[in-house]
Amino acid sequence: MTTSRAPETSAPPRARRGAVLGASTIAALGGLLFGYDTGVISAALLYIAPEFALSDGMQQFVVASLLLGAIVGSIGAGPVVDRIGRKVTLIILSAVFSAGALLSALAPETSILVLARILLGLAIGGSSLVVPTYIAEIAPPTLRGRLVSMNQLMITIGIFASYLVGYAFAGSGGWRWMVGLAVVPSLVMLIGLFTLAESPRWLLSRGRTEDARKALLRTHSAADADASLAEMSEAMREESKFSYRDLLSPKLRPAVLLGFAVAATNQLVGVNAVIYYAPTILKQAGLGDSAAILSSVGIGAANMIFTMIALLFIDKVGRRPLLLGGTSVVILVLFGLGALYLLPSVHGLGLLLTGGLMLYEAAFAASLGLAIWLINSEVFPTAVRGKAAGVGTVTHWGLDFLISISVLTLINALTPTGLFWIYGLLGILGLVYLWRNLPETKNRTLEDIESSLRKGKRA
């Protein structure tokens, strides 16, 4: 019976591949907006600070206000995405992105700007959970690593684009244009989402088996769709209805701890200190406003290019080699950056720092940058993926907030050397945990990964 329906409902292989790529690209615009809205403040802050007469503390608060919203968004998105679905949640988030961008551009004073950034944070926090979850649930196992990692690629493209826009408006000091242009991709995402199918795994979890099969046939052959449905159904029969309390049960604890560790390491190596404050750090090292912003463009380019390179290898080399190797390089560079400030009368410190930060971003992009969203989208059972992935995203945004609100204060208290070396030491702790506990997940179904984690199998 299933075979007889295949010619009518199953698209040819090239069309299926195009469908999953197109759907992943539209969803991943949430990642582009994530990157743009977090990165654009680095250049805009140089002009917002004098216009609104912001102290160092208030500058940190303007940056961190977005992250307060992101914490709330990542917490709230978990139960919402499991209740109303991945697609509808993404539509709501794209509308919030548009509203936040417009309000940021029109802000007449600091309090309105902070409110707008909190609104943007809600959308960023929610999309950081929902986008990789949706892509992971529509992608075939052989393409899942590359497609989920497209979210991180879009984040780096968004950051790079924000640096380019910042440099373009640096001469005029047009920070309102810098923050307001985010409305363009948010509207494109909003329109595109209406053409997508809902996640088949979510549809099946709601008892909509035939709808789930139709959604799978957009991206799978008829035989693969039926096999996937059978595998998902079997996995769901073994799962009970979980609550947040159940996330620490023996069955889920290994996956939850792993998601927490990846997210914590991602932040504790200080990546967002670089993204938010690179122009400020470089300006303190002797570069002018335009030169500091231009240098940050190079840092953003390294981030984007090495994310692209990593995407080519993530489903061939695997998660463990890239994550562990790249994190090791990140740690070494952090200690090197700290050591630069100890050399007496360093000539061209700004250029040396720019080169070091580019190497740092390249290594981060190919490892921890990809891992946080990919691992959190792969290791949790379907029925609780929204709630469980929220642990990783809340950890990410909570630590991001603490880092963003403390960077300038720590530089003043500990010097830049102390700041970079603290990040390096914290990175070592994360690397040791991941080396011991991170499984290899390439070319494995989500249900197989879940089963092996429950049984205590690591690599």
Element (H or E) spanning 208, and its range?
none
Q: How far apart are the first and last CA of the chain?
A: 40
Which among 175, 151, 148, 149 has a CA at the least distance from the CA of 162?
175
**In the Cβ-directed half-sphere of 146, how many Cα atoms lie within 13 Å?**
16
Please say whether the beta carbons of 225 and 214 come within 8 A: no
d(CA 356, CA 335): 10
Based on the number of CB atoms within 10 Å of its own CB, is 388 exposed (0-12), middle (13-18) or buried (19 or more)?
buried
pLDDT for res 3: 40
Residue 49 in tokens: 């600070």
pLDDT for res 254: 79
pLDDT for res 185: 95
Which among 41, 34, 66, 59 has a CA at the least distance from the CA of 279?
41
Residue 192 in tokens: 């595109």
pLDDT for res 121: 93
Mean pLDDT over the full length of the chain? 83
pLDDT for res 386: 61
Residue 400 in tokens: 């991001």
Element (H or E) spanning 386, and its range?
helix 385-404
**In the Cβ-directed half-sphere of 434, how many Cα atoms lie within 13 Å?**
30
Q: Which residue stretches of the chain have pLDDT < 70?
A: 1-15, 235, 237-244, 246, 344-346, 373, 377, 381-387, 389-390, 443-447, 449-459
pLDDT for res 238: 58
Percentage helix, strand, coil, to 5, in the chain? 80, 0, 20
Please say whether the beta carbons of 275 and 159 come within 8 A: yes
Helix crossing, 271-284 with 385-404: angle to 10°?
Answer: 20
Residue type, 431: L
Which among 132, 198, 146 has a CA at the least distance from the CA of 17?
146
207 Rama sector, left if φ>0, alpha if ψ -120 to 50, beta otherwise:
left
